[in-house]
Amino acid sequence: MAYINNIDNKFLNLQISQLMLKKLIQYAVYPSKRVSKKDKRNLQELINSISYETSYEESQVNERYSFKFLRELINMVVDGYSDIEVVANYFMEKEGKIDGYPTEVLNTILSWIQIAVENEGLFNDSDLKMMRDFISNRLQYLFIFKSLPEINRSAERLNNESVDIKSIVETTTPLIKKLDIDLRRSKYVNEDRFLDTSIGARQSSDRDRDLDSLQEIIQASRNKDAKLISGYRSLNKIINGGFAKDRVYVFSAVPKHFKSGTLLNIAVSVARNNHYTTKNPNNKPCIVYFSMENSVVETYERLYSLVTGKELADTKENWKLVVKAIDDYININDIALKIIYRPGNSVDTSYIEDIIENCEAEGYEVIMMVQDYLKRINSYRRPHDELRLVLGSVVDEFEDIAKEHHIPIVTAAQLNRAAYELVDDQMIKGNNDVAKSLGTKHIAESAQIIENCDYAIIINRENLFNRTELTDIIPSLKPKNNPYLSFKLLISRANSKTEDATYFAQPFDNGFRLTEDVREPESKAVKDIRRVLNDVLDDTEKSELSSRFGYRFDDDGVSNSFARPLTKDEINSYDTYNDTSKFATGTPTTFSVNNNQPSNPFTAFKPMSMPGTNMINNTMNHEFDDIKDDSEGSDTFGN
């Protein structure tokens, strides 16, 4: 029997037999895909909720040590460790040796693990179902008892003659909702129901079931609603055709380099370029843009800039015409865009469940969730842990929600300081295609995010001329200094990546809207931004760039060895560049660094002003500061 053993209702007094401990240890390391990450997280939550000190007698040495090993093992497995020897050594160092006996127990446990790792057929479907039910039932038991004291207190208040009905509703509803979420998440759901099939066997007791499953698989693959295409051919290509149900996509960038803008562009383009049939014909398909970074006002400013290329604050149009312009642009396929804002870190991932339920109550079916961004939302399971574990847990919880509701979830993450310094350095030098130099090591707290998401993509916004002072000195370059957003695929759950499907740069129609080309005969994206220079510059401009700034032009594109930004005096003094003795035509020139130059190059030069980018082109003196806004609200386009 299991029962809650202490006053704060956190730990179960539950004895697990040695035979079941053996099975659970093997289950924790079982290599088959039939044991999912969610299965292992449920096991972790259960084991960490059991008090082995009160569950086992001191004489039950085998059980006590097996349980403690299982606890260390599942925690390390969930955190990404795969080397069982590391776990064993850690366990031995932590527990020590008592008359050599724990070593004997440890050797027995390691033999169990070896059998599980080497034998993928160790467990059949019935075995796995039994273990999942064992874990799920006890977790649900724990959650119920943890919530009972608060629920009972609310129930007792109902008998009070001076009861405040509103207060009881406000305090009790969140408790019941939380319990409901806990129970649903701890319940095993066969997410991969198509795995248990066979093909090629002419005679099988389950042949009819196998044929039904195979028919479902083929129909699911052909389902036109299975993937939501973006408005960008090259993005669809690197994510294997579009945003798939049950998947989590993470776009990462350095601060102020268009994370929020990318997410908004994706949400709008998906709404514009898909036809979707809802499960309930009375409901309307809906994409949720859930911002925890920019307020509703700021999001609408960006949305208006995306649609029109103008600043909302500068327009004199009647507000109804403003709304009509946005609505006409988005609502061409009867897919609504719902915009919701909550302050950063004011809610956890369970709030996304609330959003989906509220949308359903309003007559919408959420077909895609876009959340801005990872660091702004709290983990439901690990709200107070260290950041790397919290972010990994948030992605895991997104995975659970995506699978439960069969939707893609798209979010963003921040690149680390090393990435910022690299991007900063490359853009000072005027180099293009900066994202090509970035990798998984540049994603802040990357290990947990990379491991748990389905697709990881680095993005970087840059101009054709990243050194914007050049356009002040050579005015003819200004109209050619177009912005691009580059994408580099890092992680993919799809088929093996090909070289031509890992990087591209998408142009902009205006300062905020990416160019849609999914309905065009071919992609508008480029594989190398630097090669565009060869196509758009005339011979005079190439000569000036070569002689003054060390640019080199060849068949492969453009290279630049100019090693530092210009000073303000140099920019303002055209005579500096008329002194041809300093520049040998066609010879790259490298200047020594001016020690008086500001350490942050963006403080010395005013970035090129583009419509809709007042939030994007800020100086980066405080590039890693958190910015919060306390306003909140929501609205929907496409009603």
**Which has the higher per-residue pLDDT, 364 or 37?**
364
pLDDT over threshold 80, residue 117: yes
Main-chain dihedrals φ then ψ at residue 363, nearest 5 degrees: 95, 20
For the chain, give the mean pLDDT: 77
Asked if 181 and 89 sit in the same domain, the reply is yes
Q: Which two tokens stand for residue 21?
A: 């401990």
Percentage above 90 pLDDT, the chain: 29
SS (H, E, C) 323-346: HHHHHHHHCCCCCEEEEEECCCCC
Asked if 150 and 287 sit in the same domain, the reply is no
Question: What's the domain count of the chain?
Answer: 3
In a domain, 505, yes or no: no
CB under 8 Å to 263, separation ≥6 — which residues?
251, 289, 370, 372, 373, 410, 411, 412
- Averaged pLDDT, 499-509: 85
pLDDT over threshold 50, residue 376: yes
In a domain, 485, yes or no: no
Q: Which two tokens stand for residue 320?
A: 């109804």
In a domain, 222, yes or no: no
pLDDT over threshold 80, residue 18: yes
**Which has the higher per-residue pLDDT, 318 or 382?**
318
Asked if 578 and 524 sit in the same domain, the reply is no
- Averaged pLDDT, 375-400: 85
Asked if 115 and 170 sit in the same domain, the reply is yes
Task: Say how far apart CA 511 and CA 308 lie, in whole Å.
Answer: 10
The DSSP letter of residue 114 is: H
**Given phi > 0 = left and psi -120 to 50 = alpha, else beta, which region is 430?**
left
The DSSP letter of residue 443 is: B
CATH number at residue 377: 3.40.50
**Which has the higher per-residue pLDDT, 630 or 28?**
28
In a domain, 66, yes or no: yes
pLDDT over threshold 50, residue 587: no
Domain extent for 278: 250-467+519-529+629-637
Element (H, E) at 463: strand 455-463
Instruction: Report the pLDDT value the prediction gives residue 59, as an integer from 0 to 100.
Output: 87
The 10s digit of each residue's pLDDT in 425-468 is 888 777 888 899 888 888 866 677 888 899 999 999 998 887 76
**Which has the higher per-residue pLDDT, 484 or 623?**
484
Asked if 257 and 308 sit in the same domain, the reply is yes
Asked if 183 and 315 sit in the same domain, the reply is no
Please identify, among 191, 210, 233, the residue that sits at the C-terminal boundary of a domain: 191
pLDDT over threshold 60, residue 272: yes
The DSSP string of 481-542 is: --EEEEEEEEEESSSPPPGGGSEEEEEBSSSSPBPP-TTSSS---BS-HHHHHHHH--HHHH
Element (H, E) at 105: helix 101-118
Asked if 176 and 262 sit in the same domain, the reply is no
Asked if 523 and 551 sit in the same domain, the reply is no
In a domain, 73, yes or no: yes
Asked if 524 and 543 sit in the same domain, the reply is no
Judging by beta carbons within 10 Å of its beta carbon (0-12, 13-18, 19+), is residue 514 exposed, middle or buried?
Answer: buried
What SS3 class is residue 281? coil
Q: List C-alpha distances in Å: 120 to 197, 212, 596.
A: 16, 25, 65
The 10s digit of each residue's pLDDT in 487-496 is 999 988 765 4
Element (H, E) at 268: helix 259-272
Among the listed residues 40, 127, 33, the one whose alpha carbon sits nearest the alpha carbon of residue 81 = 40
In a domain, 416, yes or no: yes
Among the listed residues 54, 74, 73, the one whose alpha carbon sits nearest the alpha carbon of residue 64 = 54
Instruction: Name which of 72-81, 144-153, 215-224, 281-290 the model is least confident about.
Output: 215-224
Asked if 258 and 181 sit in the same domain, the reply is no
Contact yes or no for 614/593 (Cβ under 8 A) = no
- Averaged pLDDT, 622-639: 45
Instruction: Report the pLDDT value the prediction gives residue 305, as an integer from 0 to 100.
Output: 93
Asked if 290 and 159 sit in the same domain, the reply is no
Please identify, among 171, 191, 211, the residue that sits at the C-terminal boundary of a domain: 191
The DSSP letter of residue 585 is: T
pLDDT over threshold 80, residue 273: yes
Q: Which two tokens stand for residue 76?
A: 């390390």
Asked if 463 and 556 sit in the same domain, the reply is no
In a domain, 417, yes or no: yes
Contact yes or no for 161/114 (Cβ under 8 A) = no
Please identify, among 145, 166, 191, the residue that sits at the C-terminal boundary of a domain: 191
Q: Which two tokens stand for residue 582?
A: 């300093």
Q: What angle do CA 275, 296, 484 make, to 5 degrees?
A: 65
The DSSP string of 119-186 is: -TTSS-HHHHHHHHHHHHHHHHHHHHHHHHHHHHHHHHHTT-TT--HHHHHHHHHHHHHHHHHHHHHH
In a domain, 229, yes or no: no
